Amino acid sequence: MREEFALLRGLDEQDVAELTERARRRRFAAGEVVFHAGDPADTLHLVRAGRFAVRITTEFGATATLNVVGPGGAFGELALLTPDAPRSATVAALEDAETLSIHQLDFDRLRRRRAQVDGLLVGVLAQRVRELSEQLVEALHIPADTRVRRRLLDVVGAYGSAEAGAVVPLTQEELASLAGTSRATVNRVLREEQERGTLTLSRGRTTLVDPGALARRARGAFG
């Protein structure tokens, strides 16, 4: 069965096969860094298994998690368009994980043969900009409690569908980094949701019980 990667969706099957055959398979242990912000950028990573956190460090030394990328996703796309620029973020594995690492030169060969590849890249980058813009608006105008609920639901997407029994094996520190708030706030919100019966908590993981009710509160509907 051919693997599906969102970045390559729409390309000819033969082109995808040729590109992935040239790729280097890389495995990462939980917590291992794929690359740091400031490192040279010359490869794209397609995620085959596991999840990765995309993080930046602020000028005050705090770490903010911008995104969690799961199977079928990709990170490092900017290396394909701005090869002389350094990495803009640090990416680390949240669990044992695996990627296909594609060098810029191999991707450039495909771009020269298939004009639609640039359109795919632009589409992916435009989606990234929309997501970051939404996060910025939320950080400025949405209460922290609501951001915690929204980020929890967002992360569920990287671990499966938002249904009863879905598990998010992230620590409260990691959720706090995603929501742009403190661990204490995350702890309080999660415990409130546990009391409401929408989720259960255990060490380093959160299990959804009533994702519909959680989603309603994440939208601001508290009825």
Whole-number average pLDDT of the chain: 86
Using one digit for the tens of pLDDT, what is the confidence trace for 26-37?
Answer: 999 999 999 999
Q: Give the model confidence (pLDDT) of 145-195 as tens digits.
A: 999 999 988 888 777 666 777 888 788 988 898 888 999 999 999 999 999
| More reliable by pLDDT, 10 or 95 | 95
Alpha carbon distances (Å) from 93 to 47, 96, 179, 221: 11, 7, 19, 34
Q: Sketch the domain layout of the chain as residue ranges.
A: 6-139, 142-218
The yes/no answer on whether domain 6-139 falls in CATH 2.60.120.10 is yes
Q: Coil, strand or helix: which one is 10?
A: coil
Comparing 93 with 109, which gets the higher pLDDT? 93
Query: What does the pLDDT read at residue 221?
Result: 44
The domain made up of 142-218 has a fold known as Arc Repressor Mutant, subunit A (1.10.10)
Its pTM stands at 0.82
Concatenated DSSP letters for 146-190?
HHHHHHHHHHHHHHS-SSTT-EE---HHHHHHHHTS-HHHHHHHH
